Amino acid sequence: MPTEILMPALSPTMEEGKLAKWTVKEGDEVAAGDVIAEIETDKATMEVEAVDEGTIAKILIGEGTDAVKVNTPIALLLMEGEDEADLREAGGARKSNGAAHPNGDAAEAAPAQGEAKAASEESESGKLGRADGPVSVLVAMDKAEPPEEPEVPEGTEFVEQTVREALRDAMAEEMRRDGEVFVMGEEVAEYQGAYKVTQGLLAEFGARRVIDTPITEHGFAGLGVGAAFAGLRPVVEFMTWNFGMQAMDQIINSAAKTLYMAGGQMGCPIVFRGPNGAAARVAAQHSQDFAAWYSHVPGLKVIQPHTAADAKGLLKAAIRDPNPVIFLENEILYGQTFPVPELDDFVLPIGKAKIARKGGDATIVSFGIGMTHALQAAEALAEEGIDCEVIDLRTLRPMDMDTVIASVKKTNRCVTVEEGWPQSSVGSFIAAELMAKAFDWLDAPVLSVTGKDVPMPYAANLEKLALPSAKDVVAAVKAVSYAD
């Protein structure tokens, strides 16, 4: 029976890629380690190596094919002792052993090997599963009811863009606009960004303004703060926010507090940005949501966008803001596509929530990747006759509680959704605010859907259990609605 060679994943979060080139043809003999193909994603290019020895019997996906899903069979390999007859026999039951593995320079800190299988299992795990949800559901939503964009003038054209591209465009536009804006961080320049968010910036703005730093978060965060004291506008990228903890003292004690300690004399116009929260299968030290941590601190503004449009409009606002801004991105969202308004200067107000979906039965409040679960749950609940209003906070500090309270006064029920841990979470703050300011309107206790109160496990099944899911949100909304 021929062996299937599967489309490999370049990184834990890759869902599809382009089969750029075959370096073998049908009939070629290959040995383990031979390069057989090249694969491209928007992040990187890699070579695919044969894992087993044999003959390339059939190429199933032609070169140049875009959007090949991870784990799709791309070729068939005949092993020693197998022949054309085996190939013909092999109708339905091919054996698949993931006979290729990535040999590329994977963009992420974590190696990519062996992720494909888990990803495929996840994608088949039902409509509330994590891996396949976001894109399809959002596309469906766009068709049903486009989200309101009150900041966008009527008649504006939209382009489809990934969050990654939107963030890059935001930085590039602000750098064109203001010569005192610069970007610094690990691998932001020549490597083009560990997650390719700064792709192309070095070419346009040069090494003076796009600066690769050594791996010294505490040091370069402090250096950025000093430069901001002098009036420059640094955009400091942390490769992930997990590493930003090294710089916590400079972020809190220097960036956030100096304006106050200086009696208003000296502010700190800086943006700290980077991916936050769980990616996929990178375990406890690389999977943490810092939303609650930073939103605790007066002097900081904290933004955690979900869509590409919000990422763009809010990052531009953050760079222009004269205060230190914590900008929490998400690796899983980077590759997702959303409509982005085609405007010369699309800037969104910081501190303004957005009603992502209108409804009257219950309010779901979330932000960042939590919106994925919130919107999926709302979709599922709608089918069962529960019509949810979904609020995307977008900014966590200052928090737009007015929008939340107005919605809860209408629905009388509220569920919050976030990836972070339950104790002292963003959701517990919202619950406390609602209790104080909308007590008489609540028909049920406010429930918070959060990550579980454990460090992030590595094993695929445990990781899934640790993260909040649309299923959890559905259950919580039903609980506050006293439905089944």
Partner 1 sequence: MAEANTSSRTRSRRSNAQNRGKSGSRGPRKTPEKPRQAAPKAADKPATETAEKSAFDPIVFSRDEDLKAYREMLLIRRFEEKAGQLYGMGLIGGFCHLYIGQEAVVVGVQFALKQGDQVTTTYRDHGHMLATGMEPRGVMAELTGRRGGYSKGKGGSMHMFSREKNFYGGHGIVGASVPLGTGLAFANQYRDNGAISVTYFGDGAANQGQVYESFNMAKLWDLPVVYVIENNQYGMGTSVARASATTELCKRGQSFDIPGHQVDGMDVRAVKAAADFAAEHARSGKGPIILEMLTYRYRGHSMSDPAKYRSKEEVQKMRTEHDAIEQVKQRLLGEHKLSEDEVKEIDKEVRAIVNDAAEFAQNDPEPDPSELWTDIYVEA
- Measure the CA–CA gap between 201 and 237, rounded to whole angstroms: 13
Peptide bond into 147 cis (omega under 30): no
Interatomic CA distance for residues 9 and 131, integer angstroms:
13
Which amino acid belongs to residue 328?
A: L
CB of 217 to partner 1, least distance (A): 8
Name the minimum Å distance from CB 324 to partner 1: 9
Q: Give min distance, CB of 395 to partner 1, in A.
A: 12
Residue 169 Cβ, how far from partner 1 at the closest point, in Å? 21
Distance of closest approach, residue 293 Cβ to partner 1, in angstroms: 18
- Measured from the CB atom, the residue of 221 and 480 that comes closer to partner 1 is 221
Would you say 214 or 385 has its CB closer to partner 1?
214
- Which of 275, 299, 284 is closest to 421 using CA atoms? 284
Neighbours of 177 (CB within 10 A): 12
**Least distance in angstroms from the C-beta of 316 to partner 1:** 12
Of 101, 286, 306, 373, catalytic: 286
Whole-number minimum distance, CB 403 to partner 1, in Å? Answer: 19
Q: Extract the tokens encoding 239.
A: 């490769």
Whose Cβ is closer to partner 1: residue 263's or residue 385's? 263
Closest CB to partner 1 among residues 265, 423: 265
Nearer to partner 1, 104 or 224 (CB): 224
Q: Given strand 16-22, what is the order of strands in its sheet?
A: 65-69, 16-22, 35-40, 45-50, 100-102
Spatial distance between the Cα atoms of 325 and 476, rounded to a whole number of angstroms: 32
Residues 6+ apart with CB under 8 A from 49: 32, 33, 34, 35, 36, 100, 101, 103
Establish whether 218 is a catalytic residue: no
DSSP state of 63: T
Residue 371 phi, psi dihedral angles, 5° rounding: -60, -30
The nearer residue to partner 1, 220 or 327, going by C-beta atoms, is: 220
**Residue 26 a catalytic site member:** no
d(CA 128, CA 446): 22
Chain residues in the site for partner 1 (CB under 8 A):
180, 182, 208, 213-214, 216, 218-232, 249-250, 253-254, 258-267, 269, 298-299, 301, 320-323, 350
Q: Quick one: three-class SS letters along 95-145?
A: EECCCEEECCCCCCCCCCCCHHHHHHHHHCCCCCCCCCHHHHHHHHHHHHC
CB of 227 to partner 1, least distance (A): 4
Q: Which of 187, 217, 329, 331 is catalytic?
A: 217
Per-residue tokens: 476: 């919580």
Q: Closer CB to partner 1, residue 156 or residue 253? A: 253
Looking only at the bridges linking them, the beta strands covering 181-185 and 210-212 are parallel
> Which residue in 354, 373, 385, 407 sits closest to 481, CA to CA?
385
When the beta carbons of 98 and 299 are compared against partner 1, the nearer one is: 299
CB 61, CB 47: distance < 8 Å: no
DSSP letter for each residue of 280-316:
SS--GGG-B--HHHHHT-TT-EEE---SHHHHHHHHH
Q: Which residue numbers are catalytic? A: 217, 286
